[in-house]
Amino acid sequence: MNQIKPNSLAARDIAYHLHGYTNAVRQEQEGSLILTEGKGIYVHDENGKAYIEGMAGLWCASLGFGEERLVDAAIRQMRKLPYYHTFSQKTSSVTVELAEKLIGIAPVPMSKVYFASSGSEANDTVVKMVWYYNNALGRTKKKKIISRQKGYHGVTVASASLTGLPNNHRDFDLPIANILHTDCPHYYRYGQEGESEAQFAQRMADSLEKLILAEGPDTIAAFIAEPVMGAGGVIVPPAGYFDLIQPILRKYDILFIADEVICGFGRTGNMFGSQTFKMKPDIVTVAKALSSAYLPISAVMINEKVYSVLRDNSGKIGVFGHGYTYSGNPVCAAVALETLKIYEERNIVDQVRRIAPTFQREMRRFADHPLVGEVRGVGLIGAIELVKNKQTRESFAPQQGIAAQTSKFCQELGLITRGMADGMAFCPPLIITEAEIEEMFRRFSKGLDATWAWVREQGLVAA
C-alpha cells in the first residue's frame, strides 16, 4: 500500500479502530481500504476509485448500493416511530407486518418469528430456545447440538461454538459444552479414492448417525446446517445429502435447524436454500439479505411444534426470559419489509435463475487454470479453490497466504472478493447483470494470472 499520511482517514482508522477478522499487526502496517460511497454493484474509495463488490459486502447487500426505496422506507419510519421494543406485550405495527410476511414466505410451515439484529444473535437465540424447549419437556439430558466442521453460524459465544472453523475457537476458550461437530460434506476434499458422490453422501450420513449413537440419542437435541456452507468455503452439499440426513434426525427426535443467513432470499435460485435442497427444518434463521444489509436485522422462525412448547413453558414460569433491546426495531423492520416487497415486484428469484447460468459458466471457465483445483457453486454464489498441485489436490501452506494474495491483486484491479483458506468466494449483489458478471470475472482472471506469476516468482510451485 502507499505510505499512510498523518491525519488521513487511514491513519485515524489505525489509531482508533479495532477491526474484526483482521491481522491487527498488518492493519497497523498497511492501513485499510476506506470506502465512501456505493451505487449498484460498485463501491468507491476515498480517492474515487470504483470497485466491483464481488461479495455483496459480507454476502448481504443483495440489492446493491444506493437503493432509494430502502432509504425512503427508513426515513418514513424514522419520522413515524424511530424505536420501540417487543418486551411485555408491546411492539410496533411494522414489526407485526414483517413477522406476518416472513411466515407467509417461509420455506416450510412456520408458526412464529423472533427478531434479533444479526445472524450471530439469531443462532445464539436458537441455542437457548433448544435448551429451553427440552427442559420444558423434562428432557434435561437432551441438550447437545451437532454442527459441522467448516460450518459457519456466527461469532457470539454460543454461535461461534457452533461454527466449525479453528480460528473462531482458538484462544477464545471455545467451543462451549454441549456443542459437537460432525464431518464436513465436501466431496472434492474428503471423498475417498474410488468413492462416488452418492457413496460419499451416504458415508456422511452414516458418520452423523454413529456420532448420535455414540453420544446417546437421548442427549442430542438439534442439528444445524447451512444449505450451502458459506464462510467455510462455499461448500455445496453432495447430491442427496440432506435426503439422507433428515430421516436420521426424525428417527432420533432431533430438531433440524436451517441457517439461511447467507442462502435466504434468492441466493441459490429459490427464495430459500431449504427449497433448493429439499430441507424440512423445524427452525430457520435469516439475516443479511432480509434488509439487503441496509440496517441490522435478523429473525428466527419456529414451527408450531417448537412454539407450543415455548409458549406453555413461558406460561408456567411466567415469562420467556430472553430478549434484545433492538429486537424488531421498527426502522429495521420497515427496511426489511420494503426489501421483501422489492424482491417480489422485481421477481428476484426469476432474476437469479436467469443470470445464474452466466455466473456459473464464467466461474467454471477457470477450471483449467494451473492454480485451480475445484470450481463449485449454485445460483449466484460460488467459490474457486486454489491448489498447489491439480493432480494431487495438495493445498498451499496456510502461511503462504495464497488466497490473501489473490484478493490483493484483485483489489488493485478494482474487484473486491474474499479469500477463505484456499478458496476465492463470489457472492455478488442479486441485481448484477450478465455484462457485469463477465466484467467481474475478467478482472478476476487478471488477478489470478498475477497470482500465478507471483507463485512462480516466490518458488511456491515447481518450475
pLDDT category at 3 given cuts 50, 70, 90 is: confident
Number of domains in the chain: 2
Same-domain check for residues 127 and 251: yes
Same-domain check for residues 341 and 351: no
- As given in the structure block, the three cell numbers for residue 70 are 430502502
Q: What is the pLDDT of residues 13-47, one digit of tens each?
A: 999 999 999 999 999 999 999 999 999 999 999 99
Q: Is residue 359 situated within a structural domain?
A: yes
Examine the fold and report which residue of 297, 327, 345 is the final residue of a domain before the chain moves on. 345
Q: Is residue 186 situated within a structural domain?
A: yes
**Cα 110 to the center of its chain, rounded Å:** 21
- CA-only gyration radius of the chain, Å: 22
Q: What angle do CA 26, 27, 33 make, to 5 degrees?
A: 125
- Whole-number Å distance between alpha carbons of 224 and 271: 19
Cα 8 to Cα 14, 30, 48, 96, 199: the distances in Å are 10, 13, 15, 45, 57
Same-domain check for residues 250 and 202: yes
Q: Which residues contact 200 (CB under 8 A, 6 or more apart)?
A: 185, 187, 190, 191, 192, 238
Taking a C-beta distance cutoff of 8 angstroms, is the pair 285, 147 a contact?
Answer: no
Average pLDDT, the chain: 97
Q: Is residue 10 situated within a structural domain?
A: no
Examine the fold and report which residue of 285, 316, 345 is the final residue of a domain before the chain moves on. 345
- Whole-number Å distance between alpha carbons of 247 and 309: 23
Q: Is residue 453 situated within a structural domain?
A: yes
Same-domain check for residues 399 and 331: no
Q: What is the pLDDT of residues 213-250, one digit of tens each?
A: 999 999 999 999 999 999 999 999 999 999 999 999 99
Taking a C-beta distance cutoff of 8 angstroms, is the pair 95, 333 a contact?
Answer: yes
Q: Is residue 410 situated within a structural domain?
A: yes
Same-domain check for residues 324 and 417: no
- Whole-number Å distance between alpha carbons of 5 and 397: 34
What 3-state DSSP class applies to 362?
helix
Taking a C-beta distance cutoff of 8 angstroms, is the pair 122, 324 a contact?
Answer: no
Same-domain check for residues 341 and 288: yes
- Phi, psi at 255, each rounded to 5°: -65, 145
Taking a C-beta distance cutoff of 8 angstroms, is the pair 273, 242 a contact?
Answer: no
Same-domain check for residues 310 and 434: no
Q: What angle do CA 83, 86, 92 make, to 5 degrees?
A: 55
Taking a C-beta distance cutoff of 8 angstroms, is the pair 123, 259 a contact?
Answer: yes
Cα 352 to Cα 145, 425, 457: the distances in Å are 33, 17, 40
DSSP 13-57: HHHH-PPSSS-HHHHHHH----EEEEEBTEEEETT--EEEETTHH
Q: Is residue 18 situated within a structural domain?
A: no
**Pairing of the two strands 298-302 and 372-378:** unpaired
CATH of the domain at 392: 3.90.1150.10
Burial 74-99 (b: 16+ CB within 10 A, else e): beebeeeeeebbbeeeebbebbeebb
Residue ranges of E strands in 60-132:
112-116
Q: Is residue 25 situated within a structural domain?
A: no
Q: What is the pLDDT of residues 47-99, one digit of tens each?
A: 999 999 999 999 999 999 999 999 999 999 999 999 999 999 999 999 999 99
Q: What is the pTM of this model?
A: 0.96
Q: Tell which residue, 220, 214, 203, 229, has the closest CA to residue 256.
A: 220
Q: Is residue 7 situated within a structural domain?
A: no
Q: What is the pLDDT of residues 327-370, one digit of tens each?
A: 999 999 999 999 999 999 999 999 999 999 999 999 999 999 99
Same-domain check for residues 42 and 84: no
Quick one: what percent of the chain has pLDDT higher than 70? 99
Domain hosting 113: range is 69-345
